[in-house]
């Protein structure tokens, strides 16, 4: 490179304040790309973590009606990739506390309450084996975490659910709440109870997602509630008949996975209770260990390829055990278990990145406009440079360097400001809330303690390189124009 | 006899205006010898400036040859022509044509950067600056070198332009009405400067002018009319 392009480019830039506009444009675009993407990546990562937390490693599903866990368990657990399995039974139903305090300061019985799902009521039932479930999911952590969001959002901390701490496996299998809690609950609901010393818990426990605490904030462990489920059951003639089943349960505590949909809709109860409701009474010797799914935990350290191979093996093994002609079953990893939700989040992130790139393109147009203006204003200089020996290439390089410097300075400023903004985003959000009662990111809306920001170094590098690259590309056009200018016409330009 | 430092052989230049061809130069022959002061006279539209641009390799001729030291140069690659224009000729324009963002010193230094690589120039920057300062001192602008063109008078600007043209030691200066934009007193001082430089450095000057008195001081007067040399 000749000596004059950098010498002249630097002076053009330093003496023309309009170039600050280009620097600002690139900086702003880079800043916006980093901050918005970091916040979005934080949200997405948190959402994915929450979904992951609520989901087993693998789920055998799409099983035919009346599939028994006993027939599948040995085959699944024989696979070298599988560390543990647990049966799952999904259904839907209604759950309602027996006594609901009304606005009239009196209690209503459940029969007097509207089963409007917006008011509680409707639940997706998830029957689990409390003795096996902790081996495949973090259900103990879900319960331990249940009190935190309630305390944050509703301003009080209730006692944490303790059904998984029960020493007696039989009681644990039924998720029975401690005798004293159930005795008190019966008292609050005004249903018969023995004396406190003689009372033994007998109502199967139901864990509710913490979001129902908005509807039933007064609910305490041991409070009785009625669970109602309906299912088609074949009658003696083999014709399906709709049967309803009602069972009295006790509220056993809140759980929180962080996965909003899961915490909003699910009620977890002992699988045997649900089986009984669906016609498979465990006291009946002919009853089967009914499941709709089997949750599995994989051994740690498996590579993605090994997991994919395990899914194929497990599906084949399970299919072989199902009745001939059964529809194909599926083995889903945690992402496949939530495909719509995760794909929606992913698409949103992609769309957001596209929008951000549009911002960057706008910044590139600002560079183009200012450089083009500079070339037009420096028309005569092009002729002067040619007259004193400048080559078209050197003249073009002068203007290209102007674009490069603008891009590099803009990218450095933008990425630095972006990095700092991301680093201090929560401090700034807190300060803004304290001083002006304004929240840039309403955390309560998303159940977040802090704005989840994650600065991805690869994205930072991509933004910096794209800023420089795009700015250079747009600088090429005015630079070429300058290089191709006829020096005689340029000299006579007024 | 040595070859002229600058020569034109049968130069024609035709511009196309819409569908019409406008001949501006019609077979111009011209020699400028080493250290020769040649005045180029002619009415407006006679083709003086166009000839100057063609001779300075800023504009290609439609036909004919331009020779630097006897060597035809218009067929050379663009980079080589730029190199020759830089080393062999210097331009002085009526309207000075200085870069407004640069100081007088920087404008002169710029001429030394046109064909040097960035690295070489950086290594030699102190010497390069010293040469530019010496040149400005030589044209009487020792105390004005930190000023930008807008802060200089017309005469001072033209002196800067002359210093810039002289920096790399060209063999010929092509001056297009160098005093046309100056008052008579300033013009006289600029003319004196050019004559003294010519005498001192043996630089050839091809001076486009309307000033008969100035022309009469030159070694030779070339008159043009309607794109042809009528008296040389």
Nearest Cβ partner of A391 from B78, B111, B122?
A: B78
Nearest Cβ partner of B113 from A2, A392, A487?
A: A2
| Beta-strand pair B20-32/B6-17 | antiparallel
What is the per-residue pLDDT across A264-285, written as a single tens digit (0 to 9) for each?
Answer: 899 999 999 999 988 888 778 8
Q: Does the distance separating the beta carbons of A393 and B59 come in below 8 Å?
A: no
Residue contacts between A and B (CB atoms, under 8 Å)? 86
- Name B200's Cβ contacts closer than 8 Å, sequence gap at least 6: none
Band the pLDDT of A114: cuts 50, 70, 90.
low
In the predicted structure, residue A30 carries a pLDDT above the cut 80: yes
DSSP, collapsed to helix, strand or coil, labels residue A445 as helix
**Neighboring chain A residues of B127 at a CB cutoff of 8 Å:** none
Rounded to an integer, what distance in angstroms lies between the CA atom of residue A442 and that of residue A439?
A: 5
Q: Which residue of A has its CA nearest to B111?
A: A388
Q: Does the distance separating the beta carbons of A383 and B78 come in below 8 Å?
A: no
B156: closest CA of chain A, how far (Å): 18
How many residues are present in chain B? 232
Helix (H) or strand (E) holding A5, with range, is helix A4-15
Nearest Cβ partner of B83 from A389, A486, A487?
A: A389
Q: Which residue of A has its CA nearest to B120?
A: A3
Nearest Cβ partner of A11 from B91, B102, B116?
A: B102
- Name B22's Cβ contacts closer than 8 Å, sequence gap at least 6: B14, B15, B16
Band the pLDDT of A102: cuts 50, 70, 90.
low
Rounded to an integer, what distance in angstroms lies between the CA atom of residue A447 and that of residue A24?
A: 35
Rounded to an integer, what distance in angstroms lies between the CA atom of residue B4 and that of residue A245?
A: 117
Q: Which residue of A has its CA nearest to B148?
A: A15
**Neighboring chain A residues of B99 at a CB cutoff of 8 Å:** 8, 381, 384
- Name A235's Cβ contacts closer than 8 Å, sequence gap at least 6: A241
In the predicted structure, residue A314 carries a pLDDT above the cut 90: yes
Mutate to test the interface with B, among A2, A3, A381 (most CBs of B within 10 A): A3
Residue A86 and residue A132 in contact, taking contact as beta carbons nearer than 8 Å: yes
Q: Does the distance separating the beta carbons of B85 and A12 come in below 8 Å?
A: no
Which of A64-73, A337-346, A454-463, B129-138 comes out lowest in average pLDDT? A337-346
Residue A212 and residue A308 in contact, taking contact as beta carbons nearer than 8 Å: no
Q: Which residues does B contribute to its contact with A (CB < 8 Å)? A: 53, 56, 58-59, 78-79, 82-83, 85-87, 90-91, 93, 97-99, 101-102, 106, 110-118, 120-122, 164-165, 168
What is the per-residue pLDDT across B159-204, written as a single tens digit (0 to 9) for each?
Answer: 899 899 888 888 999 998 888 877 888 888 888 888 888 888 888 9
Q: Which residues does A contribute to its contact with B (CB < 8 Å)? A: 1-4, 6-8, 11-12, 15-16, 380-381, 383-394, 486-488, 491
Q: Which residue of B has its CA nearest to A10?
A: B101
What is the per-residue pLDDT across A469-492, written as a single tens digit (0 to 9) for each?
Answer: 887 888 888 888 888 888 888 877
Q: Does the distance separating the beta carbons of A394 and B120 come in below 8 Å?
A: no
In the predicted structure, residue A262 carries a pLDDT above the cut 80: yes
Which of A82-86, A98-102, A343-347, B85-89 comes out lowest in average pLDDT? A98-102
Rounded to an integer, what distance in angstroms lies between the CA atom of residue A75 and that of residue A60?
A: 12
Q: Does the distance separating the beta carbons of B97 and A384 come in below 8 Å?
A: yes
pLDDT for the residue numbered A133: 95
In the predicted structure, residue A204 carries a pLDDT above the cut 50: yes
Reported pTM: 0.71
**How much is the mean pLDDT over chain B?**
88
> Tokens at residue B1, please?
């006899």
Q: Does the distance separating the beta carbons of B115 and A2 come in below 8 Å?
A: yes
Q: Does the distance separating the beta carbons of B101 and A15 come in below 8 Å?
A: yes
Residue A75 and residue A67 in contact, taking contact as beta carbons nearer than 8 Å: no
**Neighboring chain B residues of A385 at a CB cutoff of 8 Å:** 114
Mutate to test the interface with B, among A7, A16, A18, A389 (most CBs of B within 10 A): A389
For helices B104-111 and B125-138, the axis angle rounded to 10 degrees is 120
pLDDT for the residue numbered A113: 52
Q: Which residue of B has its CA nearest to A15?
A: B101
B77: closest CA of chain A, how far (Å): 11
Q: Does the distance separating the beta carbons of B82 and A391 come in below 8 Å?
A: yes
What is the per-residue pLDDT across B90-136, written as a single tens digit (0 to 9) for each?
Answer: 988 888 889 998 999 999 999 888 888 888 988 988 999 999 999 89
pLDDT for the residue numbered A429: 83
In the predicted structure, residue A65 carries a pLDDT above the cut 70: yes
Question: What is the CB neighbour count within 10 angstroms for residue A377?
Answer: 12
Here the ipTM equals: 0.88
Helix (H) or strand (E) holding A67, with range, is strand A67-68
Half-sphere exposure (Cβ direction) of A21: Cα atoms closer than 13 Å:
13
Q: Does the distance separating the beta carbons of A6 and B118 come in below 8 Å?
A: yes
pLDDT for the residue numbered A118: 43
Residue A249 and residue A233 in contact, taking contact as beta carbons nearer than 8 Å: no
Nearest Cβ partner of A387 from B56, B117, B168?
A: B56
Q: Does the distance separating the beta carbons of B102 and A487 come in below 8 Å?
A: no
The counts of H helices and E strands in chain A are 15, 13
Q: Does the distance separating the beta carbons of B102 and A389 come in below 8 Å?
A: no
Q: Which residues of A67-100 are buried (b: 16+ CB within 10 A; e: fewer)?
A: bbbeebbebbeebebbbbbbbbbebebbbbbbbb
pLDDT for the residue numbered A111: 58
Q: Does the distance separating the beta carbons of A391 and B110 come in below 8 Å?
A: no
């Amino acid at each position: 490179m000749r000596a004059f392009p950098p010498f002249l480019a630097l002076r053009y830039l330093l003496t023309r304040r309009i170039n600050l506009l280009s620097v600002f444009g690139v900086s702003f675009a880079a800043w916006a790309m980093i901050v918005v993407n970091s916040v979005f990546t934080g949200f997405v990562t948190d959402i994915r973590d929450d979904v992951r937390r609520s989901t087993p490693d693998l789920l055998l599903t799409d099983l035919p009606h009346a599939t028994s866990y006993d027939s599948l368990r040995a085959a699944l657990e024989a696979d070298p990739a599988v560390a543990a399995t647990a049966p799952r039974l999904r259904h839907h139903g209604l759950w309602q506390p027996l006594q609901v305090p009304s606005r009239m300061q009196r209690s209503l019985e459940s029969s007097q309450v509207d089963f409007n799902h917006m008011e509680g009521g409707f639940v997706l039932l998830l029957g689990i084996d409390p003795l096996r479930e902790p081996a495949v999911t973090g259900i103990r952590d879900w319960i331990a975490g249940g009190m935190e969001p309630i305390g944050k959002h509703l301003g009080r901390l209730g006692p944490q659910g303790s059904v998984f701490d029960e020493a007696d496996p039989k009681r644990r299998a039924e998720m029975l709440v401690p005798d004293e809690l159930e005795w008190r609950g019966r008292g609050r609901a005004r249903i018969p109870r023995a004396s406190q010393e003689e009372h033994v818990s007998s109502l199967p426990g139901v864990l509710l997602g913490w979001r129902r605490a908005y509807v039933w904030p007064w609910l305490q462990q041991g409070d009785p509630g009625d669970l109602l489920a309906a299912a088609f059951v074949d009658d003696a003639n083999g014709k399906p008949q709709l049967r309803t089943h009602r069972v009295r349960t006790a509220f056993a505590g809140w759980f929180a996975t962080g996965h909003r949909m899961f915490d909003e809709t699910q009620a977890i109860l002992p699988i045997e209770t649900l089986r009984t409701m669906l016609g498979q009474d465990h006291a009946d010797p002919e009853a089967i260990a009914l499941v709709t799914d089997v949750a599995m935990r994989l051994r740690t350290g498996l590579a993605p390829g090994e997991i994919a191979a395990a899914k194929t093996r497990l599906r084949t093994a399970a299919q072989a055990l199902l009745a001939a002609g059964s529809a194909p079953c599926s083995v889903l990893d945690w992402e496949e278990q939530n495909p719509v939700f995760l794909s929606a989040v992913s698409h949103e992130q992609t769309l957001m990145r596209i929008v951000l790139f549009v911002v960057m393109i706008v910044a590139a147009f600002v560079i183009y406009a200012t450089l083009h203006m500079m070339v037009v204003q420096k028309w005569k200089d092009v002729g002067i440079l040619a007259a004193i020996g400048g080559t078209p290439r050197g003249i073009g390089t002068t203007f290209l360097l102007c674009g490069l410097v603008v891009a590099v300075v803009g990218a450095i400023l933008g990425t630095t400001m972006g990095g700092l903004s991301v680093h201090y985003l929560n401090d700034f959000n807190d300060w803004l809330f304290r001083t002006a009662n304004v929240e840039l990111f309403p955390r309560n809306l998303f159940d977040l303690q802090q704005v989840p920001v994650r600065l991805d170094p690869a994205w930072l590098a991509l933004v910096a390189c794209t800023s420089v690259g795009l700015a250079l590309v747009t600088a090429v056009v005015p630079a070429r124009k300058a290089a191709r200018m006829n020096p005689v016409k340029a000299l006579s330009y007024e | 006899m040595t070859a002229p430092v600058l020569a034109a052989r049968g130069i024609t230049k035709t511009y196309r205006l819409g569908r019409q061809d406008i001949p501006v130069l019609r077979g111009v022959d011209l020699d400028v010898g080493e250290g020769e002061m040649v005045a180029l006279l002619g009415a407006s539209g006679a083709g003086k400036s166009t000839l100057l641009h063609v001779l300075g390799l800023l504009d290609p001729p439609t036909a004919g040859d331009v020779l630097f030291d006897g060597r035809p140069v218009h067929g050379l690659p663009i980079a080589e022509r730029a190199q020759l224009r830089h080393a062999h000729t210097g331009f002085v324009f009526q309207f000075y044509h200085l870069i407004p963002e640069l100081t007088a010193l920087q404008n002169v230094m710029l001429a030394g950067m046109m064909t040097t690589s960035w690295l070489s120039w950086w290594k030699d920057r102190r010497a390069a600056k010293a040469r530019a300062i010496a040149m400005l001192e030589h044209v009487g602008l020792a105390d004005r070198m930190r000023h930008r063109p807008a802060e200089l008078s017309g005469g001072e600007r033209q002196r800067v332009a002359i210093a810039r043209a002289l920096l790399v030691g060209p063999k010929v200066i092509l001056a297009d009405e160098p005093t046309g934009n100056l008052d008579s007193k300033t013009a006289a001082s600029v003319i004196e400067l050019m004559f003294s430089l010519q005498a001192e450095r043996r630089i050839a000057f091809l001076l486009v002018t309307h000033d008969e008195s100035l022309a009469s001081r030159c070694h030779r007067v070339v008159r043009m009319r309607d794109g042809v040399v009528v008296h040389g």
